[in-house]
Structure 1
Amino acid sequence: MSPAQAMERSYATLKQMLREGAFAPGTRLEAIRLADELGVSMTPVRDVLHRLAGERLVEANSREGFHVPRFTEAMLRDLYEWNSALLIMAARTKRPGEEEKPIAPLWEVPAGADRIAALFARIAAAAPNHEIGDAIAAANDRLHPFRIVEQRILERVEGELEQLITRGSDQPHAIRRYHLRRMRAVPDLLRERGEA
């Protein structure tokens, strides 16, 4: 395997593990141990950890190395607020003709956190500003472990998706309601995730 292939494979694997909550909050991510698990040398893993730190999926400390981030209530509320603002901006600025595109393929995505991420990516893709899409993708990655936990804490999560698919001027309101509900549940989400 070439160094570039080793790095991309390591990046994809570690990013997915972080999104799925495979590591507890605060867990130290040791490059040598991860390299052994992934069957690659330590160099690509170290490079990947730096890349993931740039994406804010990992925290880097010069004395303590790399860790899975720990969220406070304020931090998680801010992230939900940021995600809400980005999605509302995307929904309000979508390109003409996006209203007519079919929604059906979304239901082919497995239920839960992946389906929510796919829906939000679709909303982002309709916006004319691609920076909005990149920011929504980054927020999606950071919120993914909490979206997994949401399924256990909140009722009627799948029903909310139908409201989020609402077309026209109601969509920004549905996006806001979706996020406010989660912002109210932040203490429970952190506790369920092992951060409180």
Structure 2
Amino acid sequence: MAAVLAAVVAGYFGLVGLIVTKDAKTSDLRQAWIDALRAELSQAVSHFEAWTWSNYLNGTAQTVARAEAVAKFRTSEASIRLRLNPSKRLNDQAFKVLDEMATMIAAGNADTALAQEKASALVIATQPVLKEAWERVKRGESWFQGVKATSIALVVVGILSVSYLIYRGGETEGSATFVS
């Protein structure tokens, strides 16, 4: 019986080790996703504003600067859209602002004040998305949460059981009868 119990305990802790390792890897990947989204957002904002500021250039320099800024903005925009889940309501505002920015570019509306407003709106719209992702990294995956709760419960039950057995063992030592 003791060998079976030892095998079960060893198997459980092996499973816990596996889940902890998987959770750590998943958290690393989620953190990388957060970092990449932040980088793409900052690039999108930067290139969008550069597009509006290119209005102050003349001739070929303006054409080249605008084309480069638009191409870089479109790359960042596509990356952001691919990272965000369109079926999550939390992302709706970010998609709306990206659409408005793309519409400004398509219409040639390089109003600097409006562009800065849209750039700020994009940052504000994505903050809840980043916060939700960060909270999930801090909290861990649901499997990990379940294993953690079960482990704590098993440790408490184990300590209580050992304490009870020690207490009962000390209680019956003096009252033991020996038969010869």
Normalising by structure 1, report the TM-score.
0.36
Larger Cα-atom Rg: 2
